Amino acid sequence: MYLQISFHENHRRFQRILYRFNINEPLQLYEMTRVPFGLRCSPYLALRTVRQLAADERARYPDAAAGAERDLYMDDLVCSCLTEQDAALLSNELIELFRAGGRFN
């Protein structure tokens, strides 16, 4: 999930890395463009992004937005539906909700 979330261009300078592939090469500057694994803030950034997406898209995907806010833990969604049809509809709506989050990439 983390690598699906990109940093705003103005914030990439805060995720800079100095690296060289060989000790004989000069150091090179790299900037992370996506939320990396392993940072203390990565889980927060991921869940906060999902909550914002749910709020932004609530009018188009009301059931999926409610489920994403209420039933999501990291990238696992756990909920139940009364019928298989309801489950299929919710699944499709969740897919569309998360697809809507990728429209700016």
Report which residue type is found at 67: G
E strand or H helix that includes residue 97 = helix 84-100
Report field, pTM of the whole predicted structure over 0.95:
no
Q: What is the average pLDDT score of the chain?
A: 91
pLDDT in tens, 70-79: 998 877 889 9
Which DSSP state fits 82? S
Which pLDDT belongs to residue 14? 92
Give the C-alpha separation, 39 to 9, whole Å: 19
Cβ atoms of 69 and 47 within 8 Å: the answer is no
Report which residue type is found at 79: C
Kindly tell me if the per-residue pLDDT of 105 is higher than 80: no
Residue 7 CA, chain-centre distance (Å), reads 11
Which pLDDT belongs to residue 62? 96
What phi and psi values does residue 96 have, to the nearest 5 degrees?
A: -65, -40
